[in-house]
Amino acid sequence: MKLTRLAVMGTLILGLALPCYAEKIVVEGSTTVLPIAQKTAEVYMDKNPGANISVRGGGSGVGIASLLDKNCDIADSSRPIKDTELDKAVTNGVDATANIVAMDGLAVIVNPENSISKLSKKQVKDIFTGTISNWSQLGGKDEKIVVVSRDTSSGTFEAFLTLVLEGGKTRSDALMQASNQAVATTVAGTPGAIGYVGLGFLSSSVKAIEINGVMPSRDTVVSGKYPVTRPLFMYTNGKPKGLVKEYIDFILSDEGQKLVEEEGFVGLKEKK
């Protein structure tokens, strides 16, 4: 009996000595916000070993739907929530609350072999809607334009639809991709291709082009000169609390915003 009691007491003492965290949270949604969520969650958990933050992608629409169905705690989104989603939130008893964690520019990219280096926003619209279908129409070589776009569940697609296409329809033969990285990879490997990605997905494998005479960059997004910019969101059910609040507060801290910048996006805090 004494041994049993001692064993129980030992287990309780050991349990008290171990780090413990009462919550586990799930972050789901936008593939644009995904690198921010993954990096900040990794660093936050390193600093707080008992914290448990699960991060997955799927697209802005997927993340918001998951939040409204109460299957995740944070919905990453690269677009504002839609009216139809707000209606569902009310029906489901969810108070969908926007938390802006970063800014972004939608960079228009082409295959590196393309001689075109600048376009107007109107020309980009005409390319993606099909009015312009050959690079020769823009002073390039006689080559078919291959349009690469995000899929319709993507917040990046919604932002591009609003900011550039102004409600117009993407060409029916566009190559629809499930992530920013998939768009970049497809453009990099396809002669004549053009697509669009968040700033954090720019690399030497693709060529970013000027829009209305302005290159996409942190500085041109901050200054407002670049014409295709958007906020990046983390939606929560009501005001953040518990581990959700602590995690989002970390992202908005100086350290968190530095990580945002390191991932290639635009922090909300001015550089010192």
**From the first residue on, what is the mean pLDDT of each consecutive set of 10 residues in the chain (272 residues)?**
41 41 85 96 95 95 97 97 97 98 96 97 98 97 97 91 94 95 97 95 96 96 94 97 97 97 88 48
Domains and their CATH numbers in the chain: 22-103+231-262 (3.40.190.10), 104-229 (3.40.190.10)
> What pLDDT score does 155 carry?
92
Measured CA to CA, the distance from residue 265 to residue 233 in angstroms comes to 13
> What pLDDT score does 153 carry?
83
Do 246 and 43 form a contact (C-beta atoms < 8 A)?
no
Measured CA to CA, the distance from residue 57 to residue 67 in angstroms comes to 13
Tokens read off for 64 = 């918001």
Q: Which residues, listed in sequence order, are joined to residue 175 by a DSSP beta bridge? A: 148
> What pLDDT score does 13 carry?
41
> What pLDDT score does 152 carry?
87
Among 148, 209, 205, which Cα is nearest to 180's? Answer: 148
> What pLDDT score does 5 carry?
44
Tokens read off for 131 = 């009015």
Tokens read off for 116 = 């075109």
Measured CA to CA, the distance from residue 72 to residue 83 in angstroms comes to 20
Name 214's Cβ contacts closer than 8 Å, sequence gap at least 6.
Answer: 220, 225, 226, 227
